[in-house]
Every structure is written in C-alpha cells, then in structure tokens.
Structure 1
Amino acid sequence: MRVVQNPQLQLGEVDISKIEFDKKSRDDMPKLLMGLQYLYVSRREELFKILEEEISPNKDKKNGRPGMDLWKILVLGTIRLNLDWDYDRVHEQANSHSSIRQMLGHSGIFDPHYYELQTIKDNVRLLTPELLDKINQLVVKAGHNLLKKKTQRHCRAAVIRLL
C-alpha cells in the first residue's frame, strides 16, 4: 500500500511549497531541491500520475503495510542520481540534512523518523530507466514553460559597401 504523499501535515512540518533555500548557495543540493519543489508546485498531478502508474501498478493500494511514499522515493532517487551519491551517502543525508528532511516531509524535533539503508535501497531501485525517462520528459516540458522564449525582434539593416 503506497500513497503518493500524506496530505495531512504533521506538527512542525513545513509545506513543500513554502520551504526556503539559500539562493546564493553554489552547492548542487539547493538547486536540485528547488527544481523538485517547482515540479511539486507546478506539475504535481502529472508527476504523481506517472509515479502511480509505474511503481507497483498491480498492487492493491488499499491493502497491505504502508510503503515509502512515492514522493520520498522520487526525492531520494533524484538526489542519488543527480549528485552521483552511493546509497550510504543518501542514507546519511536523508537522516541528517535539514533541507532534505523538510523536502521528505519531516519536521525538526517532532519527527525523529530514521531511514534504514536497506529501505532506501529497496525503494530507490523502483525508479527504472523508463520511469525516469517519463519524468525527464515532464521536467523538460516544465522547463520550457518556465522559460518561454520571448518573441525576438530581428534587426534588419541594409549593408552598404563603401569602396
């Protein structure tokens, strides 16, 4: 039984759309998390539809033990692939990095949730190359909409040869 994301915020939890990042940071992590935040805010329905269709499509979503939320799988998998981290580093950062924990839906002191290494491995491996390709197409489409090209006025000038 997997859910996309728990709609009920926990005590102290910050809504993903309201997480603030250091825009002056030169590190890759804030940029990556801002990109995920933009996808969450602007393309949430499309993104979650892709994830629900591809990750365990034949499983009954109403029965069974709760698995890792699809959003958490996407966040951890994206971090692992884009930053070229091994599972041990993802494990350490998922349990200690405050911005990542906020993006995963955890509050500070009120949510001491700990991710086990094997849980991260088992869930992140669900992101197949085909699924990542579909998500990549969504990212490209969102990027094109975000940075629509302005109609450019071309400079038309006559060239006169002077001898």
Structure 2
Amino acid sequence: MVRRADNLLCELVAAGAPAWRFERISRYKAHAIRQVDQIRRRIVYGEVIPQEEKVFSVFEPHTCWIAKGKAGVVVEFEVPVCIVEDQYQFILNHRVMWEESDVDVCVPIIEETTQMYTEFKACSFDQGFYSPKNSKRLDEVLEGNYMPKKGKLGKEDRKRQEAEDFIEARKQHPAVESAINGLNHEGCDKVRVHGKEGFARSVALSVLAANIHRLGVLVRNREREKERKRLKPGFLVAA
C-alpha cells in the first residue's frame, strides 16, 4: 500500500499536479507508515506503545480515547472540553483539551476566567482537578477555592471540607452536569465538521447557543411572571 502511494505521488509530481492534490495521499501514507511501525513494535518486539503515540482516527488525528467500552460502558472517542459555569447557569469560559488533562487545565482556565470577569471570586471543582500545586495556586487566585482533596483527608483538610460554605458550594456543583448535557443538545454530541479548527468552532458555537437558550428561558420566565401578576385572581395563564 505504501509502495502504491509512492508510485502515485511520483506520477502526480511528473504530471505537474498542484501540491494540494497529493497532500492528502502524503498524509495518509505517513499514517500507514506509523501504523506499520507500531504493529511491528507491539506484535514482534512486545513493546507497549505509549498513549501519546497512538492515533485513534486517521481522519481526525486529534481524537482521544475516552472510554474503553468495558461492561456497561460504550466505547467513546472524542475530545474533552472543560467549562466554567456561573450561578445563573451561563457558561463563562471553555477550553478544548487537545492534549491536556483536568489537572493541566484547572489553573489556566480559572486564571483566564478571573481576568475576563473581575467579580469571579469562588469556584467549585470536580475531584479530578485536584493536585497539591493546583490547590495552592487556586487559594491565591480565588477567595473561595472549593476543590475536594483526593485520598485520605488530614485534620485540616477535613475541617475545611466540612465547613458550611464548602458544603454549600459543593451542593451547587452538580448543576454543571446539566450544562454539559445542554451542550450536547446544542450540537456538541456529534461534531459534523472536520479538523481541529472545525471542532473548536463547533464547541464555541454550542456554548454560544447554550447561553442564548439560557437567556431565553430567563426572559420567558420573567414575562410569565409579569403576566401572572397582571391578571386578576381567578384567571389561569395557559403555558
């Protein structure tokens, strides 16, 4: 297959074809060479291929393997996205995590959000964002750092996480799961464009759509409340 690709490329060059005509063939040829090399290393030499070297889609090389498809869990290929949501269910910021983990993006996205929104003073996090370094830095950036610690809690950590403000912040945290589900309904469940730029653009548009939808819900509820107060007692408002 690689030899046939080489022959075809030579024919295109000899024919004076423009570069864009054989760019895709060259790209797929590079994928084929890499896959052959990894198969040889894995099968013949028994090597364990590092995760960062694996490519799960030759069409969208930026795709990540999120779930392996074990019992009760479907196989899931996608690119993770981190979001920051406020108390009114508006998404303030988002970040496409091309080659980053939760621990990597935690501090940068919060620092960026505090620069955009000066009144952003406190935030609750999933436990997966925790690292001692992150927790220390967020204590400096935020007035309220509600990040649960991983592992066994010491006396000070337990006291901190049992404080009333910490517990109250954690109660509000599950709302972000609703925001994630909302993004799926706004187009993030299946990205139908190609390339990293197209993916990032689709995510940004989904965030915009989710915020517009949320604004519409608030306006609708306000208008309904005005109508309810305007009508005399005994009349019902159809909704």
TM-score (norm: length of structure 2): 0.23
More helix by share: 2
Tell me the TM-score normalized by structure 1.
0.29
Q: Whose strand fraction is larger, Structure 1's or Structure 2's?
A: 2
Relative contact order higher in (CA < 8 Å, ≥ 6 apart): 1
